[in-house]
Structure 1
Amino acid sequence: MKVLQFILISLVTGGLWACGTKAGNSPEKKPAEQTDDTSVPVKRTKVESVVRSEPVIASGLVSSAEEARLSFKIGGIIEKVYVDEGQAVRKGQLLATLNLTEISAQVSQAEFANEKAERDLNRVKALYADTAATLEQLQNATTGHEVAKQNLTIARFNQNYAQIRSTVDGTVTRKLMNEGELAPAGSPVFLVSSNRRSDWVVRVGVSDKDWARLKAGNRATITLDAYPDQTFTGTVSELAQAADPVNKLYDVEIRINPGTVKFAPGLFAKVSLQPAQSRRYALVPIEAIVEGDGKDGFVFVLTDDRKHVRKIPVQIGFIDNDKVLITNGLTDISNVITAGSAYLTETSTVILQ
Structure 2
Amino acid sequence: MRYFLLFALGFTLIYCSEQGQRTFPLKTKLTESVYASATIQPDSLYKAYAVVAGILDKNLVAEGDKVHKGEALVHINNNAPKLNTANARLALELAQENYSGSAAVLRSLKDEIHAADLTFYNDSVNYYRQKRLWEQKIGSKVEYDNRLLAYELAKNKLNLLKANYSRTKKELETQLRQAKNNYNASQINSEDFTVTSKINGTVYALFKEPGEIVTTLEPLASVGSSTVFVIELLVDEVDIVKLELGQKALITMDAYPQEVFVAKISKIYPRKDERSQTFMVEAVFEQAPKTLYPGLSGEGNIIISEKEAALTIPKEFLFNGNQVLTQDGAVDVMVGLQNLDRVEILKGIDESTQLLKPEE
8 Å CA contact retained: 2:237, 2:278: yes
Structure 2, unaligned runs of 5 or more? 1-29, 114-160, 308-312, 322-337, 346-356
CA deviation after TM superposition for structure 1 residue 154, in Å: 1.8
Superposed, 1:1-353 pairs within 5 Å as 54-85=32-63, 87-91=64-68, 92-99=70-77, 101-119=79-97, 130-133=161-164, 139=170, 141-185=172-216, 187-196=218-227, 199-208=228-237, 210-257=239-286, 259-275=288-304, 286=316, 318-321=339-342, 339=358, 341=360
- Kindly report the root-mean-square deviation, in angstroms, between the aligned alpha carbons of the 2 structures: 3.7
CA deviation after TM superposition for structure 1 residue 268, in Å: 0.5
| 1:177-232 CA-partner distances (Å, limit 9, x unpaired) | 00011212363111123221xx1111122245533332222221110011110111
CA deviation after TM superposition for structure 1 residue 285, in Å: 5.0
User: How many residues are treated as equivalent by the alignment?
Assistant: 245
CA deviation after TM superposition for structure 1 residue 152, in Å: 1.4
In the aligned structure 2, how far is the partner of 1:249 from the partner of 1:142? Answer: 61
In the aligned structure 1, how far is the partner of 2:198 from the partner of 2:189? Answer: 18
CA deviation after TM superposition for structure 1 residue 243, in Å: 2.6
8 Å CA contact retained: 1:171, 1:194: yes
8 Å CA contact retained: 1:121, 1:141: yes
Structure 1, unaligned runs of 5 or more? 1-51, 290-297, 300-316, 326-337, 342-353
* Structure number having the greater helix percentage: 2
8 Å CA contact retained: 1:95, 1:166: yes
Match of 2:244, SS state, is: coil
8 Å CA contact retained: 2:106, 2:165: no
CA deviation after TM superposition for structure 1 residue 252, in Å: 0.9
In the aligned structure 2, how far is the partner of 1:155 from the partner of 1:149? Answer: 10
| TM-score normalised per structure 2 | 0.57
Moved more, 126-135 or 154-163: 126-135
Q: Which amino acid aligns with 2:184?
A: T
Change (3 A) 1:285 1:194: closer
| 1:156-188 CA-partner distances (Å, limit 9, x unpaired) | 122223223344444332211000112123631
| TM-score normalised per structure 1 | 0.58
Match of 1:240, SS state, is: strand
8 Å CA contact retained: 1:202, 1:269: no
Pick 1 or 2: higher relative contact order, CA cutoff 8 A, min separation 6: 2
Q: Which amino acid aligns with 1:218?
A: Q
Identical counterparts, % of pairs: 22
In the aligned structure 1, how far is the partner of 2:306 from the partner of 2:33? Answer: 10
8 Å CA contact retained: 1:81, 1:97: yes
Change (3 A) 1:224 1:285: closer
Q: Which residue of 2 aligns with 1:47?
A: none
8 Å CA contact retained: 2:36, 2:236: no
8 Å CA contact retained: 2:106, 2:168: no
CA deviation after TM superposition for structure 1 residue 138, in Å: 5.5
Q: Which amino acid aligns with 2:54?
A: G
Change (3 A) 1:340 1:260: closer
Change (3 A) 1:140 1:249: farther
Moved more, 74-83 or 242-251: 242-251
